[in-house]
Structure 1
Amino acid sequence: MPVVDIPGSKSITARALFLAAAADGVTTLVRPLRSDDTEGFAEGLVSLGYRVGRTPDSWQVDGRPQGPAAAGADVYCRDGATTARFLPTLAAAGHGTYRFDASEQMRRRPLLPLTRALRDLGVDLRHEEREGHHPLTVAAKGVVGGEVTLDAGQSSQYLTALLLLGPLTEQGLRIHVTDLVSVPYIEITLAMMRAFGVEVTREGNDFVVPAGGYRATTYAIEPDASTSSYFFAAAALTGGEVTVPGLGEGALQGDLGFVEVLRRMGADVEIGVDRTTVRGTGELRGLTVNMRDISDTMPTLAAIAPFASGSVRIEDVANTRVKECDRLEACAENLRRLGVRVETGPDWIEIHPGAEPNGTEIMSCGDHRIVMSFAVTGLRVPGISFDDPGCVRKTFPGFHEEFGALRARL
């Protein structure tokens, strides 16, 4: 029974770094993800004047409830959306002038709903080139707090950023949300805030966040559920078996729900207290599935859909069009290159199994999830290669080695 050691969650590591920086005291993060995104977040904290001590298995962060120690900084956010959205929000709670920029890929991704809400809270924030995009400068003088309205229909990260900010304001925050995608990621945020001493109250579409700050703690990072989806899908596709320890009944991450999609398609799924196992049965049924809440795993499903017994239709995933690339279109184009018939709409993709797919070069669009997803396809289709295999360093630098080892065992 192959047991796969999955690196720590990117989403949890990013939130933990923000919370540790904002907390009163020294926080130890156990088994954080070491990848381009999270290293970029940690380097951003260092640029802002926080002390971050890094060992192979843990990071220690000296928290500063009053905000960054540096009176000014120029922070490069690399490709990281959490870095690019969370760090300007953290800096706004301090006092100083902080400039943030990012890669060309991240510069294209939207930011306006968050920066509009920050401005409504009195934050002096200026987009230097294109409104709603990096680069931007924050002239920080603390945040009083109060009521604010937010549209989080493009990304739940906008709401997470404001929730994390709330305890650092003078009065706390009441956030009225008009639209929200990827709700399980908000549940992660609320659970982690609770672990750092803050209880958020939800009243319908309003989130009420008290002032008062965070307390430091020791926090263990669970394995990344989105990354696990490729290994679970590999088992379902090949008739093999994969177990991921550290992800079980108490897991924070909603993307573990992907195994329920595999269950609907015919795989055997066992979710234990501290581990999850998927066994392929030799059957993959077609289905229609709403993936609004687990949209990061949409490419994983798209990549195994050509081997289902019927059509696979994935709905309510419009937000995947504003990720590292237009993931919906990237999946469709690569499936067509494989010889698979595909239809798409504004927020859906339908994949029709037919002739056996042919080998081709997968166009990654610089997106780690496209590469990792179609690596699963390669378990059944000889001759698949990638134009940019190294883009997996964003979240899993050792992916190809780990996946190759699993291929050998399966």
Structure 2
Amino acid sequence: MPLVDIPGSKSLTARALFLAAAADGVTTLQRPLRSDDTEGFAEGLTRLGYRVGRTPDAWQVDGRPQGPAVPEADIHCRDGATTARFLPALAATGHGTYRFDASAQMRRRPLLPLTRALRDLGVDLRHEEAEGHHPLTVRAAGVEGGEVVLDAGQSSQYLTALLLLGPLTRTGLRITVTDLVSAPYVGITIAMMRAFGVEVGREGNTYLVPPGGYRATAYAIEPDASTASYFFAAAALTGGEVTVPGLGRGALQGDLGFVEVLRRMGARVDVGADRTTVAGTGELRGLTVTMRDISDTMPTLAAIAPFATGPVRIEDVANTRVKECDRLDACAENLRRLGAEVATGPDWIEIRPAAAGSGAAGPGPGASLTGAGIKTYGDHRIAMSFSVTGLRVPGISFDDPGCVRKTFPGFHEAFAELVKVLRKDGTG
């Protein structure tokens, strides 16, 4: 039974870096993710004047409750949405002028609901080119606090940025949310704020964040559940078995719920106290599933859907159109390149079973699929998802395999090791 060591969670690492920078004292982050996104976040903190010390297994951050240590800074957010959305909120708590820019990919992604809310709170913030997009400049003078209304229907990160900001304001925040996607990520934020000494209240759709700041702590980062989805899907697809230590019943990340989708499709799933095991049974059943709360795993499911015995329909994932790429269209296009029958709508994708028989993809559903070049659009999740498809379809290649460095630089090597074990066990 392969044990797969999954790197630390990107979502937890980004939040932990913000909290550590804002806390009173020195925080140690154990097993943080080291990837392009999180290194970009740490680099942004350094440019703002925070001290970030690194060892192979831990990062130490000297907190500054009063905000950035420098009066001016230019921060490049790379491709990182958490960096691009969280750091301007952190910078607003200080006193100075801070300019943020990002990659062409990140420049295309929306910010307006967040920046509008920050302006409503009195933050002097200007978009330099397209309104609601990077680059932007924050002329910071601290944040008083108060009441604000937020639409988080495109991204829960807008709400997370305001929640994280709340304890650093002078009077606290009262945030009323009109729409929310990926709600479990907000649960992660609130749980992590609690670990740093802040309790967020809630009245219906309104979140109440007290002032008073954070206290430093030692914080262990759990493995990334979104990344684990590719390894769990590999087990379900091949009839193999995979266990991921460190992700179990107490996990903060909602994306672990992907294993329940695999269970509905016929896989055996065991979620223990501190580990999760998925075993394939030789059959994947079709289903209709709403993935609004775990939409980062939508491409994982789409990539194995042609091998199901019935149609797979994934609904309520409109927000995946404004990720690193339009993931709905990217999945549809790449599945069609392989020979699958796919339909899409504004917020859904439906994949029909590929013809059964005995072809390049092996016996059973999916046998008619043939290898092709996968267009990643520079999106790590497209590359990792279709690597799973490649377990059953020889001849798949990627135009940008290196885009996985965003969240898992060693993905291809780790996945190849898993494939070796599965094939040794006769399941791959």
**Short-chain TM bin:** over 0.9
User: Which string of whole-angstrom CA distances, capped at 9 and with x for unpartnered residues, describes residues 254-294 of structure 1?
Assistant: 00000000000000000000000000000100000000000
Match of 1:399 among 411, 416, 419: 411
Indicate the SS of the match to 2:310.
coil
Aligned equivalents of 1:348 and 1:40: distance in 2?
A: 32
Equivalences for residues 344-383 of structure 1 within 5 A? 344-355=344-355, 356-383=368-395
Distance 1:38 1:361 in 2: 29
**Paired position in structure 1 for 2:425:** none
Alignment-mate amino acid for residue 325 of structure 2: C
Q: How far apart, in 1, do the equivalents of 2:369 and 2:55 lie?
A: 44
The separation in 2 between residues aligned to 1:32 and 1:113, in whole angstroms, is 29
* Cα distance, 1:112 vs structure 2: 0.2
Distance 2:100 2:55 in 1: 27
Q: Deviations over 1:204-254 (max 9, x none)?
A: 000000000000000000000000000000000000000000000000000
- Where does residue 387 of structure 1 map in the other structure? 399
Give matches, 1:192-231, under 5 Å: 192-231=192-231
- Offset of residue 109 of structure 1: 0.2
Q: Partner of 1:8 in structure 2?
A: 8
Q: Report the Cα distance in structure 1 between the residues aligned to 2:181 and 2:170, rounded to whole angstroms.
A: 28
Distance in 2 between residues matched to 1:206 and 1:357, nearest whole Å: 49
The one-letter code of the counterpart of 2:62 is: D
Instruction: Give 2:321's aligned residue.
Output: 321
Distance 1:178 1:353 in 2: 38
Deviations 1:323-360 (A, max 9, x none): 00000000000000000000000000000012321100
Corresponding position of 1:279: 279
Q: How far, CA to CA, are the matches of 1:185 and 1:235 in structure 2?
A: 26
- Residue 257 of structure 1 aligns to a residue in which SS? helix
SS at match of 1:113: helix
* SS of structure 2 residue aligned to 1:115: helix
Secondary structure of 1:264's counterpart equals: helix
Q: C-alpha separation between the residues in 1 aligned to 2:99 and 2:194?
A: 30
Match of 1:247 in 2: 247
Distance 1:94 1:373 in 2: 40
Q: In the alignment, what sits opposite 1:304?
A: 304
Deviation at 1:75, TM superposition (A): 0.3
Give the whole-Å Cα distance in 2 for the aligned partners of 1:381 and 1:192. 41
Give the TM-score normalised by the residue count of structure 1. 1.00
Aligned-pair CA distance for 1:295 = 0.1
Residue in 2 aligned with 1:168? 168
Distance in 1, matches of 2:233 and 2:275, equals 16
| Number of aligned positions between the proteins | 410
Cα offset for 1:116?
0.1
Is 2:69 the partner of 1:69?
yes
TM-score (norm 2): 0.96
1:92 counterpart = 2:92: yes
Q: In the aligned structure 2, how far is the partner of 1:54 from the partner of 1:154? A: 34
Gaps of 5+ in 1: none
Output the CA distance in 2 between the equivalents of 1:353 and 1:308: 6
Quote the sequence identity (%): 84
SS at match of 1:258: helix
CA distance in 2, matches of 1:65, 1:184: 27
User: Which AA in structure 1 matches 2:413?
Assistant: E
Quick check: 1:80 aligned with 2:92?
A: no
What is the CA deviation profile of residues 43-74 of structure 1, one whole-angstrom value per residue up to 9, with x for unaligned ones? 00000000000111000000000000011000
Determine the C-alpha separation between the residues in 1 that align with 2:417 and 2:302: 23
**What is residue 363 of structure 2 aligned with on the other side?**
none
1:356-401 Cα shifts (integer Å, max 9, x gaps) = 2110000000000000000000000000000000000000000000
Q: Measure the CA separation in 2 of the matches of 1:282 and 1:211.
A: 54
Letter in 1 for 2:305: A
RMSD: 0.3
Q: Secondary structure at the match of 1:407?
A: helix
Alignment correspondent of 1:340: 340
Q: Does 1:409 pair with 2:421?
A: yes
Query: 2 CA distance for matches of 1:49 and 1:310?
Result: 55
Name the CA distance, whole Å, in 2 between partners of 1:405 and 1:354. 28
After the TM superposition, list the runs of 4 or more consecutive aligned residues in structure 1 that deviate by more than 4 angstroms: none
Q: Match of 2:393, as an amino acid? A: V
Aligned to 1:128: 128
